[in-house]
Structures are given as structure tokens and as C-alpha cells.
A and B are shown apart, each in its own frame.
Chain A
């Protein structure tokens, strides 16, 4: 009995020792030397924390990115953050969550746009202290979409009817099984306009431009990185080395090393790269046809 008691005490003692050591490690910022965090924002922005293993082209959870940004802010050794953006956009709320986290960051943030920094991806980039893009990156797409496929006619052809049982007239607004009523369409478009205005205001504020200047580019079209720089949306043209240099300059950490925050990948992320090859294929329309259509949620997507 005495032996068991001593054994338990010893095991507890080791656990306490381990806890004390971890406390000391935490306070001394074990990662000696300055670091620049590289946080990926790759894929369609969603709010769910569950990575969809079958998402084609990949998705990124806003919760995960926000957590990474907060973690980077907590770590003493991290002096600046590079947001590696390759995203066509995503949900409004997910985008704003990440944008808020970037704005609240106490450490300088450099947005590095790779293939695509469109719509929600672009909104996030504008919140950073400085934006780097390749001259041929796809940037911009200041617009909102909530388009979806509506099947009522197709169902009708096959004798399938939609039994509408609702307590409120607009309860099933946006269901793919019936057409939108004229007033419903109007109401939805009004809401899209509200989001669109938010988008324009945010970009204007973030990039220190007037709303009129941003409005000129707010028809939803994408522009090349070089065009975006001329319009005042991108600060420098370049690649990762450019972003890294700027991050070191902003944080005054010339000897900083990289601290990489790897993202969780979906099973078919490997195939996501295939969609990139369609971006400049005019016949398939900039790769949009390869992106999954999402019913109803307001999307800041290309």
C-alpha cells in the first residue's frame, strides 16, 4: 500500500515537474530569435472549422486563420505576420472574421497575394499593413454574389412538384425548388447592395482611398496585380522574398526567420492546383466553372 502511494506521488511529481518546465518554457519565449509567421489563407473562405475533405480547390476555415493570427500575436518571438493569400473569396462573415483579426493584430501584417486574391481574399489583403502581389496575380473582384441554380422547371418536366408548406411568406425564399418572386428578388438584391457598400467602404478605409476611387473598380471584375498597383490596391509587386523583406523592415527584425503555420488540407486539395491552370483559359471563363456553386449564402466570390 505504501509502495503504491509512493509510486502515485512520484508520477504526480514528474507531472508537476513537466508542468513547471512548460511554464518556464512559455515565459522565456523558447523560440529564441525573431520570427516572421507565415499564415496561409488558401482556398474558399468558410466559417466552419471542419475541413471538407472533398472540397475541390480547397477551403480555409476562418476560425483556423483567426486562431493562427491570435497565436502569432501571443508568441513573443513572432515579430510580424505574412498572410499567404490564394483565395477567390468565400462567405461574408468568414471574410470579416479574418479581416477583423488582421486589423486587431498588434504586429505588422504583410498580405502576399499569389495566384488569386479576389473578393473576400482581396478584402482580407486590404486590411494588412502592406500588400504584395505578383504582376499577374488576379486581384480585386469587388462584388457580391448569391447566385444559385433553380430547378422548378426541370422538376416540373418530370412530374415532380414542390409542396410548399411555410408559416411565413418568405420562409423558403431562395429555395431551388421554386422561382424567386419579384419582391423577393428585389429584397435580396437590396441586401447584396448593402454588403457591396460595406465592401467598398472597407477597401476605401483600408487602402486610404476615397469611396469614389474604389467604386470605379467595384463592378466585380478582377484585375491583374500590376493594374491593382496602379489603382492603389497593391503596394509592391513581387513574390515571397518581397513579402519577407517587407515584413522584416516593418518589424525591424533583419535577422528574423520563418515560422510556418501549415494549413490543414482537404483530401482533394491535390487536385485544386488543376483549377489554377484554367484561370487564363478564356474558353472556360477564368476557372469559375470549376468552383462549386454554393446555394444562397452571400458570397464574396468571383
Chain B
């Protein structure tokens, strides 16, 4: 029986990126985001020195004004993934690992597709489901990819 690689080689279709390549790209992007978010982190460190449990001092509830801090981190993180994937089809991590996002329905991936597939970046329980799906199904697709009708392929 032909392997996925053989099928892709025969048909000329681009091969989907495997778990480790996607994971490595995610790690690289996370490191870059760590640097980008450093100014906000430092402000938090200044406000809650040493005692990480004191994060509660400034984020006692999501309904309170402290939501501003949480929201700013979410906005910058989400914007990074969405802007890069929408305009380039790749984040910096994906560029370095030679993979990109592609739509499975239509030529160009749409903004809504990018938004849907990146919800996992800000809701960790979705990322958890995505990872399990990716590992168990063996189709090299996250659950968010299936919903958004996208795939990550070798570029």
C-alpha cells in the first residue's frame, strides 16, 4: 500500500508537516513571543516581585480591571499568529522550519480560517484537544485545522 509520502510524491501535492516539525515551529514562535512580551512581563515582575503567587494581586478576577493585563497578552499573542499566517501563510517559526498553512478549500486561506485555527493559541484546552487529535488520528491535522479547513504543509 502506498505511503502518504508516496501519494504526495506521485500527485505532486505538498506533504503535510508532521508533529515534531509543527511542535518545533510552535516552540520557536513561543520563544519569539516571550521576547516580544518581555516589556509586559517586566512590568508584571515590577508589580509582583519574587512571589509569583502574587499575580493574584493584579489579576484577582477576569471581570475586574485586571483583565486589562490578561487581555493585552492575549491580544498581542493572537495578533502575532493571525497577522503572520494571514499575510505570509507562516509565522517566523514556520518559516524557519519550512512549513506553511494552506486552505483545503480554495486557493487562498481566508481571514476567518486563520482566526478559527488559532483560537487554540489563546484557549489552552482547545490546544490540548488539538494535540490529542493530531497524535491519535495520524492525519497530521489538528482538530482546529479540520474545523478551519486548513492544513500545514512543507513549503
The answer to whether A154 has its CB under 8 Å from any CB of chain B is no
In this complex, the interface size class of chain B, counting residues with CB under 8 Å from chain A, is 20 to 34
Residues of A238-295 contacting chain B, CB below 8 A:
257-264
Docked Cα-Cα span, A139 to B129, in Å, equals 58
Docked Cα-Cα span, A262 to B36, in Å, equals 27
**B66 contacts A31, C-beta separation under 8 Å:** yes
Stretch of B5-13, B20-28, B40-48, B112-120 with 4 or more beta carbons under 8 angstroms from chain A: B40-48
User: Residues on A close to B: CB < 8 A?
Assistant: 3, 7, 10-11, 14-15, 17-19, 21-23, 25-26, 28, 30-33, 35, 67-68, 71, 75, 257-264
Q: Given A21-B76, A30-B47, A68-B50, 18 more contacts at CB 8 Å?
A: A3-B88, A7-B88, A11-B32, A11-B92, A14-B79, A18-B36, A25-B40, A25-B72, A28-B68, A30-B58, A30-B69, A32-B58, A33-B60, A71-B46, A257-B60, A261-B50, A262-B50, A264-B50
Residue with the greatest number of chain A CB neighbours at <10 A, chosen from B32, B49, B84, B95: B49
**How many residue pairs, one in A and one in B, have C-beta atoms under 8 Å apart?**
87
The answer to whether B132 has its CB under 8 Å from any CB of chain A is no
Instruction: Say how far B70's CB is from chain A's closest CB, in angstroms.
Output: 11
Residues of A within 8 A of B68 (CB): 25, 28, 30
**A22 contacts B39, C-beta separation under 8 Å:** yes
**A257 contacts B57, C-beta separation under 8 Å:** yes
Residues of A within 8 A of B84 (CB): 7, 10
User: Residues on B close to A: CB < 8 A?
Assistant: 32, 35-40, 42-43, 46-51, 53-54, 57-58, 60, 64-66, 68-69, 72, 76, 79-80, 83-84, 88, 92, 95
Docked Cα-Cα span, A19 to B43, in Å, equals 10
Docked Cα-Cα span, A79 to B117, in Å, equals 45
List 12 contacting pairs A-B, 8 Å CB cutoff, sorted by A: A14-B76, A18-B38, A21-B72, A21-B76, A22-B39, A31-B58, A71-B46, A259-B48, A259-B54, A260-B53, A261-B50, A262-B54
